[in-house]
Amino acid sequence: MTTKFTPDHEYIRVEGDIGTVGITNYAQEQLGDIVFVELPAVGKVLKKGDEAAVVESVKAASEIYAPVTGEVVEVNSLLTNSLGTLNTAAEGEGWMFKIKLTNSAEVETLLDADGYADLTL
Amino acid sequence: MSASDADQNLLTVPLNDQHVAAGGRMVPFSGYSLPVQYPTGIMAEHKWTREHAGLFDVSHMGPCFLTLNSSSGDPDTDYTDIAAIIEPLVCGDILNLKPGQIRYTLFLNENGGVLDDLMVGRSPLHPGALYIVVNAGIKEADFARLRAAAGDRASLQRADNNVLLALQGPQAANVLSALVPGITDLSFMTYGTFPWGDEDLIISRCGYTGEDGFEILCSPQHAPPLWETLLADERVKPIGLGARDSLRLEAGLPLYGHDLDETVSPIEADLGFAVSKRRRDAADFPGAARILAERDGKLSRKRVALVVEGAPAREGAEILDADGKAIGVVTSGGFAPTLGKAIALGFVPPEHAAIGNKLQVSVRGRLQPAEAVAAPFVPHNYFRKPA
């Protein structure tokens, strides 16, 4: 299992050919209280960089981009009833969707934890 | 998630160090660096203000004084003279303000469009002086407009290098009266001068959150101890601009540059109350022909308050009728923490603005149900003294 990050503050936790995607803890802190989330439809095929989801704080909407290319295979139904999880456990239970990778080489182009940490200093 | 960094030459407010020390997240706003929120976040700050007392630094705004250059010796004449300078610019009855009374009014252009909304107060002490507060983003234009109208009859003293604090919420009066005993004499939309230590504070009972509260004008050197003293009260927390905006939206109050601009008339903006009867009868304000015709029903759009199902409909979102026909646009919208749902203000043809009308909003291309409701979304809690 490996966890990678985008400069746009998404993370992807890859196990086999399935990646679990969400926003980083840094991102949720920046957004503040999240009041709405729009998740992708299961079955949707996303290219790396496509808009995949939207999270809204009191103040603003922020797009979440697909960190890799693939098909959405699951969304986190917990978030529907418990949006606060995005604020309290962004990188854990507050994951947003799972994507089946079509090009695992893309993962290597993303930031590792140290690279991402440098970005958010 | 996308992020953007602003690198501008921002002005800092006198309490900048206090905001940073309190954990304020500083953002660019109207040319100033100001806290959008503190560590507890917008939702908690919003609710705290509705239940206790929130302390806001609104020093970016434009307080000023307009004072006659020479007194006639007669207080009534002096007040008539100073009111006559500002009345041609606005639609409110300034002439008949009582000493210490404040009125919300509008600078209008020749077409009846709103140039800014502002507060005008008649000085309780100096018959030839007005206390005026204009909006931050366009204060230079407002000050220039006031100077031009004054000519050599009156002088404008800017006070926007001072600190303007707003203490808002149901506990605000209890908190402030412990420091400044006289403030319980103030009713909603009145102001006065109150000693605090060796300084005279100008305190008005008004605000833009829908709650009872006060705005306090204070010198930069006295502001830090005042800020600290107010925050030492456990009923008071510092509140950022984020919650200020969600509070005013719930209160159904329009925001200049969003719900109000040079094309919007007071009638369209549902601010008909700001066009005072005496001025209507005289039809002596800018754009009177349009505004009076609109008041008689000849208007093409009207401000509507919407409760939105689903994602918040933000500024710029299209408003559609029940059949899907585009009829207007959202001018400010977001999430209402008190209600736990999305709300918005926007403009639609008047026949669609009736309370209970079923409309739709387009959010990221998806249509969501919306209903026209009565504003304010959350009832106002202003303090009016019994007659």
The ipTM is 0.83
Which residues in chain A are closer than 8 Å to B3, comparing Cβ atoms? Answer: 8-9, 30
Q: What is the pLDDT of residues B290-326, one digit of tens each?
A: 999 999 999 999 999 999 999 999 999 999 999 999 9
Inter-residue long-range contacts of A60-64, CB under 8 Å, 24+ positions, other chains counted: A60/A31, A60/B314, A61/B311, A61/B312, A61/B314, A61/B364, A62/A27, A62/A31, A62/B1, A62/B2, A63/B1, A63/B2, A64/A10, A64/A21, A64/A23, A64/A96, A64/B1
Is A78 in the B-facing interface, judged by CB distances under 8 Å? no
Higher pLDDT, B257 or A58: B257
Task: Compute the CA torsion angle B123, B277, B85, B113 (nearest 10 deg).
Answer: 120
Whether chain B has a CB inside 8 Å of the CB on A32: the answer is yes
| A50, B129, B158, B214 from B204: Cα distances, Å | 51, 16, 17, 5
Q: Which of B1, B41, B246 sits opposite A10 (nearest CB)?
A: B1
* Contacts A–B by Cβ distance under 8 A: 63
A65 CA: distance to closest CA in chain B (Å): 7
For residue A31, list chain B residues with Cβ-Cβ distance below 8 A: 1
Average per-residue pLDDT for chain B = 96
Share of chain B above pLDDT 70, in %: 98
pLDDT band at B4 (very low <50, low <70, confident <90, very high): very low
Residue B340: the pLDDT is 94
pLDDT value at B142 more than 60: yes
Q: How far is B43 from chain A (nearest CA, A)?
A: 6
Check pLDDT > 80 for residue B251: yes
Say if residues B213 and B207 touch (Cβ distance below 8 Å): yes
User: Is residue B48 exposed (0-12), middle (13-18) or buried (19+ Cβ within 10 Å)?
Assistant: buried
**Burial grade of B60 (CB within 10 A; 0-12, 13-18, 19 or more):** buried
For residue A23, list chain B residues with Cβ-Cβ distance below 8 A. Answer: 1
- Is 60 exceeded by the pLDDT of residue A33? yes
Question: In this prediction, what percent of chain B has a pLDDT beyond 90?
Answer: 97
Confidence of residue B7 (pLDDT cuts 50, 70, 90): low
